Amino acid sequence: MINIKRLTPQPNPSNYTNYLSAASYWSFSDVEFMHAALALAKKGATKEEVPVGAVLVHEGKIIGEGFNQPILSCDPTSHAEIVALRGACKGLQNYRLPSNTTLYVTLEPCTMCLGALIHSRLARLVFATQEPRAGMVGSQLNLAEMDFYNHKIEVNSGLLQPESQKILKSFFKARRNKKKKK
């Protein structure tokens, strides 16, 4: 069975050291890579895409990264996780990820993304905040725990959750305000 570790959201840290002391489960690298994913989410927001960012990491190096871009690419499958997977797999010349690869993503994956992560043999998934409408790693259903999959992913959630929620709320507030002006 999959082991999901959910941590209580912590106040916004003034620096990494304070954050790590507040939530000792997370390593410095975890925080660093989630900040990279948050930066990608912000980049997506500037392009009017839903602000989700993802980075794939193996042995301390980013091997793939992406932000949501279905509107830009006219491709409904261009979620941040899929874009990161495509980049990593193309660079590796393999559809399977190396062992011990971790994906850091700012929002809980949907059905499509989780399926791709399982098939790519991802070792660990770290997501910042839950997706109450379509999250498939616990919010709606936990597909990662289904017995019919022969690969299991370690799942951790809650890292930099307040920061991710702030980006998402700001984006959707701006989108609603823009619609009101029309």
| Digit-coded pLDDT (tens) for 12-62 | 344 444 444 445 689 999 999 999 999 999 999 999 999 999 999 999 999
- Say what the pLDDT of residue 24 is: 60
Q: How many domains does the chain have?
A: 1
Residue count of the chain: 182
Say if residue 89 carries a ligand binding annotation.
no
- The domain spanning residue 148 has which CATH number? 3.40.140.10
Please give the Cα distance from 160 to 12 (Å, whole number): 8
- Say what the pLDDT of residue 31 is: 98
Segment 68-80 shows an average pLDDT of 98
Say if residue 35 carries a ligand binding annotation.
no
**Domain of 38, in residue numbers:** 4-181
Please give the Cα distance from 131 to 63 (Å, whole number): 25
- Say what the pLDDT of residue 95 is: 97
Q: Does this model's pTM top 0.75? A: yes
Point out the residues that are catalytic.
Answer: 81
Segment 107-111 shows an average pLDDT of 96
Give the SS3 label for residue 108.
coil
What HEC string does 115-166 produce?
A: HHHHHCCCCEEEEEECCCCCCCECCCCEHHHCCCCCCCCEEEECCCHHHHHH
- Structure token pair of residue 167: 């980006």
- Say what the pLDDT of residue 181 is: 79
Say if residue 113 carries a ligand binding annotation.
yes
Segment 118-123 shows an average pLDDT of 97
Strand partners, 62: 57
- For residue 17, which amino acid is it? T
